[in-house]
Structures are given as structure tokens and as C-alpha cells.
């Protein structure tokens, strides 16, 4: 997000911004649900069970649906 910081601080000349078509970048992060995350341990990284993978995929679909309903809630906010 360095470009965003530079743009906010006026670090670039307007001609440079126009020439390179710089604009603020918005980043969205879709994470797994807290409910699922709380149930996972280190060994979950090695689990290849089909039912387990299906559970992960269903959670991902649910989180994707939440994102589509309200994307601003999943916008990355840089913490300095």
C-alpha cells in the first residue's frame, strides 16, 4: 500500500501520476470464518480428507457470499 501512502502525502508530481496512471489501490481480504478457524490446529494443514476439504470449501463459499453482500466490511485497513 506504499503507493497509497505516497499519493496521500503528495510525493508524486501530477504529471508523473498521469503518465503512470497511478491511483489508490483497494485491497479486500476474504478470510475463513472465526467459527471454523477456532477448530483448526497445526495438523489441519496435512488433512486431505474429502469431508474436511468440503467443509473448508463450503466455508469459503459462505465467506465469499458475505463479501458480495458487503465488500466494504472486508476491505484491508493498513495499521501503522
Which burial class, exposed, middle or buried, applies to 12 when counting CB atoms under 10 A from its CB (0-12, 13-18, 19+)?
middle
Nearest to 35 by CA among 58, 65, 15, 19: 58
Q: Judge contact between 12 and 22, C-beta under 8 A.
A: yes
Beta carbons within 10 angstroms of residue 63's beta carbon: 16
Rounded to two decimals, the pTM is 0.69
Write the pLDDT tens digit of every residue in 12-37: 999 999 999 999 999 999 999 999 99
Percent of the chain, pLDDT > 70? 96
Its sign, for the CA torsion 15, 16, 18, 19, is: positive
Hey, where are the domains in the chain? 2-74
Amino acid at each position: 500500500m506504499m503507493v497509497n501512502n505516497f499519493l496521500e502525502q503528495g510525493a508524486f508530481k501530477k504529471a508523473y501520476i498521469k503518465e503512470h496512471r497511478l491511483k489508490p489501490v483497494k485491497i479486500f481480504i476474504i478470510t475463513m470464518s472465526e467459527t471454523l478457524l477456532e477448530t483448526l490446529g497445526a495438523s489441519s494443514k496435512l488433512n486431505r480428507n474429502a469431508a474436511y476439504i468440503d467443509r473448508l470449501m463450503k466455508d469459503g463459499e459462505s465467506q465469499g457470499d458475505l463479501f458480495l453482500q458487503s465488500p466494504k466490511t472486508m476491505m484491508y485497513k493498513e495499521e501503522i
